[in-house]
């Protein structure tokens, strides 16, 4: 059984300007030990998916479809069960390490918080407080921070250290699924590499299933076996990460991969290729294929027909008229 499965997930935000569909029919399966990358521009619905898994979306947001955590539908859970599943079933490494930590509490206390919240009632004794503290020390050492630093406040640590604290926090309750939501966004390249290496190491060591969300394709190909590229709330291409990166099928994935210069390749350096235009406004999506206004190979058909994901090769799907055979 898969540890995390999204079945035809739709998420629609209610705003003053009307309904905004942020995720439009996403299917995604994460098997035990899988590492799946989710890529796409800002505003394509990546972080919405992360929040949807643990039901963290703002009140009033419309969610249809199903999110199955270990076979159990998150959206039909009772509040108590939901609280128990949060962080033990799936944990999130948030983006923006500075803001995800409470500035007035010590980092050790904040990791302990997760452990204490999920220990049973009887465990609120002095003994369990001690063992929780010992566990905090272990977790910090595991991510490469001296246990004595549990006494520090977030502002006394560097950006890389804070991100490590968040990773330690995510591991506090031994979750099966780890969702990393742009964990390296605000870090410099060296620290980014360290954090990525740490995440990979922990993933292997604990047999974690990892859902890695970022806009940085090169990070994903490095970390993930499989890759899904999102555009305007939909997955437009998926497959093994090396295949998607080297032979992208969908024109959007092609534009994304082409945007990365190859080191040493003068041709790509002198001739950087980007993608013109902005991602569409989710509250006013173009008809047909939502990518057609920016697509170089759009046909008249693209303005009217919305292509669903279809098989390209084994384990490889894309949503484009030019790709694969209509089912």
84 counts as binding other proteins under rule CB under 8 A:
yes
Instruction: Give the burial string for 75-95 (b: 16+ CB within 10 Å, else e).
Output: eebeeeeeeebbbbbbbbbbb
Least Å from the CB of residue 126 to other proteins: 13
Q: Select from 105, 124, 204, 269 the one that contacts other proteins (CB under 8 A).
A: 105
Q: Select from 17, 18, 56, 72 the one that contacts other proteins (CB under 8 A).
A: 56
118 counts as binding other proteins under rule CB under 8 A:
yes
Q: Select from 27, 88, 119, 194 the one that contacts other proteins (CB under 8 A).
A: 88
CB 235 within 8 A of CB 26: yes
Q: Select from 9, 44, 46, 86 the one that contacts other proteins (CB under 8 A).
A: 86
Q: Report angle CA 233, 235, 240 to the nearest 5 degrees.
A: 150
212 counts as binding other proteins under rule CB under 8 A:
no
Q: Select from 38, 52, 145, 150 the one that contacts other proteins (CB under 8 A).
A: 150
- Interacting span for other proteins (CB under 8 A) from 38-46, 66-74, 110-118, 280-288: 110-118
Distance CA 193, CA 199 (A): 10
96 counts as binding other proteins under rule CB under 8 A:
yes
Q: Select from 36, 39, 114, 195 the one that contacts other proteins (CB under 8 A).
A: 114
- Interacting span for other proteins (CB under 8 A) from 2-10, 91-99, 234-242, 299-307: 91-99
The residues in 121-140 that bind other proteins, with binding defined as CB under 8 A, are 133
User: What pairs with residue 137 in β-bridges?
Assistant: none
Which two three-digit tokens encode residue 98?
Answer: 């500075």
104 versus 266: smaller Cβ distance to other proteins? 104
Q: Select from 101, 171, 198, 323 the one that contacts other proteins (CB under 8 A).
A: 101
The residues in 57-76 that bind other proteins, with binding defined as CB under 8 A, are none
148 counts as binding other proteins under rule CB under 8 A:
yes
102 counts as binding other proteins under rule CB under 8 A:
yes
Q: Select from 15, 71, 99, 124 the one that contacts other proteins (CB under 8 A).
A: 99
110 versus 209: smaller Cβ distance to other proteins? 110
Measured torsion, CA atoms of residues 111, 113, 119, 120, in degrees rounded to the nearest 10: 180
162 counts as binding other proteins under rule CB under 8 A:
no
Least Å from the CB of residue 148 to other proteins: 7
Which two three-digit tokens encode residue 300?
Answer: 């008249």
Least Å from the CB of residue 291 to other proteins: 31
145 counts as binding other proteins under rule CB under 8 A:
no
Beta pairing, strands 226-231 & 35-39:
parallel
Which two three-digit tokens encode residue 2?
Answer: 């898969």
157 counts as binding other proteins under rule CB under 8 A:
no
Number of residues that bind other proteins (CB under 8 A): 28
Residues that bind other proteins (CB under 8 A): 54, 56, 82-88, 91-92, 94, 96, 99-105, 113-114, 117-118, 133, 148, 150-151
């Amino acid at each position: 059984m898969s540890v995390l499965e999204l079945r035809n997930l739709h998420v629609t935000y209610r705003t003053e300007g009307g309904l905004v569909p942020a995720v439009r029919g996403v299917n995604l399966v994460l098997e035990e030990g899988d590492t799946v990358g989710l890529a796409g521009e800002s505003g394509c619905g990546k972080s919405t998916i992360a929040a949807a898994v643990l039901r963290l979306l703002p009140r009033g947001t419309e969610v249809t479809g199903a999110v199955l955590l270990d076979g159990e539908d998150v959206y039909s859970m009772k509040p108590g069960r939901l609280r128990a599943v949060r962080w033990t079933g799936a944990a999130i490494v948030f983006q923006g390490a500075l803001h995800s930590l409470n500035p007035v509490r010590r980092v050790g206390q904040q990791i302990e918080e997760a452990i204490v919240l999920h220990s049973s009632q009887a465990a609120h004794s002095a003994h369990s407080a001690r063992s929780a503290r010992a566990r905090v020390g272990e977790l910090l050492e595991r991510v490469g921070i001296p246990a004595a630093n549990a006494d520090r406040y977030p502002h006394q640590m560097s950006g890389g250290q804070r991100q490590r604290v968040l990773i330690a926090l995510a591991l506090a309750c031994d979750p099966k699924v780890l969702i990393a939501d742009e964990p390296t966004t605000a870090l410099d390249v060296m620290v980014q590499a360290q954090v990525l290496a740490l995440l990979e190491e922990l993933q292997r060591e604990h047999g974690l299933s990892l859902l890695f969300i970022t806009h940085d394709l090169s990070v994903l190909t490095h970390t993930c076996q499989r890759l899904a590229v999102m555009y305007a709330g939909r997955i437009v291409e998926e497959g093994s990460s090396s295949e998607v990166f080297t032979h992208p099928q969908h024109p959007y994935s092609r534009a994304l991969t082409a945007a990365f210069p190859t080191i040493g390749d003068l041709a790509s350096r002198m001739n950087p290729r980007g993608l013109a235009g902005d991602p569409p406004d989710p509250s006013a999506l173009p008809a047909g294929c939502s990518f057609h206004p920016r697509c170089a190979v759009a046909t008249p058909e693209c303005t009217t027909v919305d292509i669903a994901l279809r098989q390209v090769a084994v384990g490889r799907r894309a949503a484009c008229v030019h790709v694969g055979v209509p089912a």
